[in-house]
């Protein structure tokens, strides 16, 4: 029922920006005879090369990111116009590195993501630990182009690479009494200046924690991301492993995860602890439920061009994924359970 050739949550043709270039890159690969064994659909791995072939400016920031092969996915919104990689890398919320949008990129350059371990435990029959290489090799990687909607009313379209959280949870084999999944970010104040200073870290009590109901966590759209634009994640985007829940406000998509615990109780979540009347546990994108301090009816889409020329567009119910996820919330008052 979910698998559709043309996802019905896709954007209109008129929204096109860099998508043509993205497709062109795939065409060039084909013409060059690079048939991409193990890389069935071109990733963005060699953006610099393609940019030069296309005669446009190479926009690569120097980094140590490596190419990741991935399959395309039926859950990808392939018609979305992509936010340029450079903006996804430079305009971030990751308060562990500071509260300005430019802080995460500026302060996370030496963040150590290898070695890394993610513990999966709690109410599971098969507790397990993923090491750094497991993160990239244990599950087939898919590319998923998703909308990302921050509660602050800006949005991006991001080509993530990752695997369904459901695949990992199935491997851990949740017990019948497990009802929620709790996530935790690394706690390391030596590496994360926002954890060492309340001022830099925005007054948050670290580690950053998040949670989902088990049915939300098992939903096929819920992704564990390990890369974007064809490469592994940069630290500022939550390297080496983060959550992406496309129908919820961005703060649910917790970065740099070290612990995943199955529980029978709704777990505490960072923004809800900080301001419970402003940020709920559910945090489903909803144009009809405003933030107490601003409207959620529209959003500033960050695409091509300058950050300030970005265009306003209407917010979509469940961020455009209503057909896929609305059933999860049947009978709930979304005003009260925001
Ligand atoms: N650990 C942690 N995860 C986090 C945050 C954070 O401050 N710390 N910010 C969240 C918010 S508010 C958003 S909008 C997204 C931003 O992801 P991006 O910077 O990759 O676009 O990450 C989310 N995950
Ligand atoms: Mo956000």
**C-alpha 150 – ligand 2 centre gap (Å):** 4
pLDDT tops 90 at residue 44: no
Whether pLDDT at 337 is above 70: yes
The pLDDT of residue 40: 32
Q: Give the separation between CA 67 and CA 187, rounded to whole angstroms.
A: 28
Confidence of residue 64 (pLDDT cuts 50, 70, 90): confident
Atom 19 in ligand 1: which residue has the minimum CA distance? 92
**What DSSP character marks residue 119?**
E
> 257-307: per-residue pLDDT in tens?
999 999 999 999 999 999 999 999 999 999 999 999 999 999 999 999 876
Summarised one tens digit per residue, pLDDT across range 29-41 is 444 433 333 333 3
Phi and psi torsions of 261, nearest 5°: -125, 130
Q: What is the mean pLDDT of residues 143-161?
A: 98
Q: Which token pair is 119?
A: 């513990």
Run of H or E including 47: helix 47-53
Helix, strand or coil for residue 12?
A: coil
Which ligand places an atom closest to the C-alpha of 185?
1
Domains in the chain, please, with CATH?
13-329 (3.90.420.10)
CB 295 within 8 A of CB 287: no
The Cα–Cα gap between 154 and 97 comes to: 20
Banded model confidence at residue 96, pLDDT cuts 50, 70, 90: very high
Point out the ligand 1 atom lying closest to the alpha carbon of residue 194. Answer: 7
**Residue 110 is labelled as binding a ligand:** no
pLDDT of residue 63: 52
187 is in an annotated binding site: no
Q: What is the pLDDT of residue 243?
A: 99
Q: Beta strand pairing status for 180-185 and 209-213?
A: antiparallel
Q: Which residues line ligand 1 (CB under 6 A)?
A: 92-96, 148, 150, 185, 208, 237-238, 250-251, 253-256
CA dist., res. 304 & res. 18, Å (int)? 7
Q: What is the pLDDT of residue 261?
A: 98
The structure tokens 């400016």 sit at 57
What pLDDT score was predicted for residue 125?
Answer: 98
92 Cα: distance to centroid of ligand 1 (angstroms): 7
More confident residue, 23 or 186: 186
Across the chain, mean pLDDT equals 86
Does residue 135 surpass a pLDDT of 50? yes
Determine the atom of ligand 1 nearest the C-alpha atom of 236: 19
Burial annotation 49-88 (CB, 10 A radius, 16+ → b, else e): ebbeeeeeeeebeeeebeebbbeebebbbbbbbbbbbebb
Average pLDDT for 160-181: 98
**pLDDT-based confidence at 160, cuts 50/70/90?**
very high
Task: Using the atom order of ligand 1, give the atom closest to the CA of residue 271.
Answer: 12
pLDDT of 305: 84
Across the range 171-198, mean pLDDT stands at 98
Instruction: Please tell me whether 265 is known to bind a ligand.
Output: no
Contact status, residue 207 vs residue 185, Cβ threshold 8 Å: yes
**Residue 194 Cα to ligand 1 middle (Å):** 13
Confidence of residue 59 (pLDDT cuts 50, 70, 90): very low
Q: What is the mean pLDDT of residues 233-256?
A: 98
94: left (phi over 0), alpha (psi -120 to 50) or beta: beta
Tell whether 224 is in a known binding site.
Answer: no
* 173 known ligand binder: no
């Amino acid at each position: 029922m979910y698998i559709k050739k043309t996802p019905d949550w896709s954007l209109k043709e008129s929204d096109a920006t860099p998508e043509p270039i993205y497709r062109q890159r795939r065409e060039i690969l084909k013409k060059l005879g690079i048939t991409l064994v193990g890389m069935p659909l071109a990733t963005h791995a060699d953006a610099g090369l393609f940019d030069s072939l296309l005669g446009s400016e190479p926009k690569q920031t120097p980094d140590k990111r490596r190419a990741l092969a991935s399959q395309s996915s039926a859950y990808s919104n392939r018609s979305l116009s992509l936010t340029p990689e450079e903006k996804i890398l430079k305009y971030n919320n990751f308060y562990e590195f500071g509260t300005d949008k430019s802080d995460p990129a500026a302060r996370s350059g030496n963040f150590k993501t290898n070695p890394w371990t993610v513990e999966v435990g709690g109410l599971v029959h098969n507790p397990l630990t993923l090491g750094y290489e497991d993160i990239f090799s244990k599950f087939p990687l898919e590319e998923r182009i998703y909308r990302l909607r921050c509660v602050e009313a800006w949005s991006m379209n991001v080509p993530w690479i990752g695997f369904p959280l459901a695949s990992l949870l199935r491997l851990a084999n949740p017990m019948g009494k497990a009802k929620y999944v709790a996530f935790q970010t690394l706690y390391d104040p030596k590496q994360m200046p926002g954890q060492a200073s309340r001022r830099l870290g925005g007054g948050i009590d670290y580690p950053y924690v998040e949670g989902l109901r088990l049915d939300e966590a098992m939903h096929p759209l819920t992704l564990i991301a390990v890369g974007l634009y064809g490469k592994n994640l940069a630290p500022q985007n939550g390297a080496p492993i983060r959550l992406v829940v496309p129908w919820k406000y961005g703060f649910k998509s917790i970065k740099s995860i070290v612990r995943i615990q199955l529980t029978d109780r709704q777990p505490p979540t960072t923004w809800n602890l900080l301001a419970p009347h402003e940020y709920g546990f559910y945090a489903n994108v909803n144009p009809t439920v405003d933030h107490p301090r601003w409207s959620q009816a529209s959003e500033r889409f960050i695409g091509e061009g300058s950050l300030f020329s970005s265009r306003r567009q209407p917010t979509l119910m469940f961020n455009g994924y209503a057909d896929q996820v609305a059933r999860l919330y049947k009978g709930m008052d979304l005003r009260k359970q925001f």
